[in-house]
Structure 1
């Protein structure tokens, strides 16, 4: 507190009743109150308070917290599911009656039997083009012939025949078909009849659902729904989280039974779902997600996730990371009138306002730098 004494002149002499009053000098003290702390130098507000707020909160409404030093990460966690990838419907071609159907959960590899019609096996082969005609001697050239020859070679039925992968159904192709038919125990005609082969992109599939019944006739409805044998993680993040999910972005998936596995974001599809149904949430089909974006994550290690099986998971999307950072709660930050931020550092029984530079902000904590150090006590609201 500063006290200045200012000497002021007295009023002029006044005579009354012939009596002369003496001159007097009057001393008037003027008190100037000094500003407390640095708040007089910088106007400050709490970022969460109205900018026009002037009154200080009562002392009892505030507490203190120590400045920490450590790592800060802007990662987010989203709940999801673990399920089998790429559900695909299989429709039977031709005519006949279903005489054998697979069990749900069974795995069929390329060259294996998917189901049976009229006592004859229907075999899985690898390809993206469904068969639409019989393939045998005299058939015109086409990509379906090339696709068949590729499978016959992979399955070992063209060994020693000098078969080349092209669109021509040559004599060697018919020989390879007969070898394949012999391995199945069926009549060796050299012709692949329509309906005896199912072409799917996967080299192996898992039976997810059986839509037909034994004894029912072949029709247009799907006989099976199959999936890949690989498990993927699927999440449906909120709209304000979507910017964190980048194609090919790396994530960490925590399994329900414990342990983690690395993953990569493969696709983001709005309204996509399993079994071709819109909005059912991808593999596992949880339903009710017509307006959400489905994010599919491929996993690096299938051995660990197979032990877990279809289940719930937590997907951790790693963002920016600051190592060896000075960290305070965001509630400690004061927005300065001139721009930027500051914190009130406790010094004994007083506080001083320190301007700081703001770094990474995550999980209601902020990285700061400036004239502060680890262990300093800063003011926060209680």
Structure 2
């Protein structure tokens, strides 16, 4: 519990010389601010404002207990959990959309993503989109190799001795027919443009459906899909950006109180990166979006897309003696001290060593202990 200590103005009956001596003893240098969170200290001298001794009002002070705990220079910024890497899916070829997935649907490599003219369009893994039909007689190319890797991975090339190379061999034709049979499609041995969607992720989640059933397939995006992994995204203020460094360590506090460690994966100027995005009407398109990869996907998925607080790991101390920065007094000979209450109305000056300074608090050490009452301006 804090109590108030007041220093009364001298009585008129006190000789002027005595009053002058008393003032020179009791008026300290008051440390009043920590500037910009950087540890820079500012000092004020209240007697340097031109008022006379008889004009100064009584100065009131409070007593605050010295705490023992942790202190950190890390910074915090509000952010969000979002599914990673939103990617538009463009329907190629010709036909009519006859089936579309629901938002939240998870599709693995080899699974049916949507349907055109009653035929499934299948998700396959690859960075190169399908741009031509692949069948007997197709010229060699990396798109052939990409298709063959999928056929082998999905188990449709067993016993064929199929190699993941760029040649469309008779064995490739047989593997394609096995795949088409498993899907219940005509076994032509040719993979046509528009019958598959190639994406880099092995498993995707449908984030948004941007087309209607019955619409004609064109060249626009019909779906937006994401990875099934969650990331944290945050748009720090400009004066915080220097603390967000590539691969820097952070902690992410979830809405349920849990905490996940992570590291900064990317910083992208303008718009959102790895999140759900936005229309930019709130000015966010001018900000830098920081994407944080998370160490514990299980905890993240249990929480789901939600608001989070991202903390950049900075210098920290634990089991430290902590006082408000306003308790610190700049000493004439250098260094700092605090006034510790010693009895009902007395206080003694104790020199302290200054440690970490953050959040208007300071780590101190010296002839002081937790629970001591230190004087601070009221």
TM-score, structure 2 normalization: 0.82
Determine whether 1:46 maps to 2:42.
no
User: Structure 1, residues 14-73: CA drift from partner, whole Å, max 9, x if none?
Assistant: xxxxxxxxxxxxxxxxx7789559x76997343447645436985542122222222222
Structure 2 counterparts to residues 150-299 of structure 1, below 5 A: 150-273=149-272, 282-283=275-276, 285=278, 287=280, 288=282, 289-299=284-294
Structure 2 counterparts to residues 119-134 of structure 1, below 5 A: 119-134=118-133
* Secondary structure in 2 matching 1:306: helix
The Cα of 1:286 is off from its aligned counterpart by: 7.9
Question: What are structure 2's unaligned runs of at least 5 residues?
Answer: 1-16, 34-41
* Secondary structure in 2 matching 1:183: helix
Partner of 1:376: 372
User: Structure 1, residues 257-311: CA drift from partner, whole Å, max 9, x if none?
Assistant: 343333332222221326xxxxxx9326485212222122222333333233222
The Cα of 1:241 is off from its aligned counterpart by: 2.5
The Cα of 1:81 is off from its aligned counterpart by: 1.7
Of 250-259 and 94-103, the range deviating more from structure 2:
250-259
Contact 1:267 1:297 in 2 (8 A): yes
C-alpha separation between the residues in 1 aligned to 2:307 and 2:189? 49
Question: What are structure 1's unaligned runs of at least 5 residues?
Answer: 1-30, 275-280
The Cα of 1:179 is off from its aligned counterpart by: 0.9
Partner of 1:11: none
* Secondary structure in 2 matching 1:294: strand
C-alpha separation between the residues in 1 aligned to 2:258 and 2:44? 47
Determine whether 1:365 maps to 2:364.
no
From the superposition, tell whether residues 235 and 125 of structure 1 become closer, same or farther in structure 2 (CA, over 3 Å).
Answer: same
C-alpha separation between the residues in 1 aligned to 2:59 and 2:98? 81
Partner of 2:14: none
Determine whether 1:304 maps to 2:306.
no
**Cα RMSD, aligned residues only:** 2.9
C-alpha separation between the residues in 1 aligned to 2:349 and 2:238? 38
Partner of 2:146: 147
Partner of 1:77: 76
Among residues 331, 335, 339, which one is paired with 2:330 in the alignment?
Answer: 335
Of 156-165 and 69-78, the range deviating more from structure 2:
69-78
Counting matched residue pairs gives 346
The Cα of 1:110 is off from its aligned counterpart by: 0.6
C-alpha separation between the residues in 1 aligned to 2:88 and 2:333? 64
C-alpha separation between the residues in 2 aligned to 1:155 and 1:292? 43
Contact 2:231 2:275 in 1 (8 A): no
The Cα of 1:250 is off from its aligned counterpart by: 3.1
Contact 1:126 1:151 in 2 (8 A): yes
Partner of 1:63: 62
Partner of 1:14: none
Question: Would you tell me which structure has more helix in proportion to its own residues?
Answer: 2
C-alpha separation between the residues in 1 aligned to 2:19 and 2:221? 88
User: Structure 1, residues 168-194: CA drift from partner, whole Å, max 9, x if none?
Assistant: 212211111111111111111211111
C-alpha separation between the residues in 2 aligned to 1:339 and 1:136? 84
TM-score, structure 1 normalization: 0.81
* Secondary structure in 2 matching 1:152: helix
C-alpha separation between the residues in 1 aligned to 2:199 and 2:236? 31
User: Structure 1, residues 230-254: CA drift from partner, whole Å, max 9, x if none?
Assistant: 2222222222222333333333333
Partner of 1:318: 313
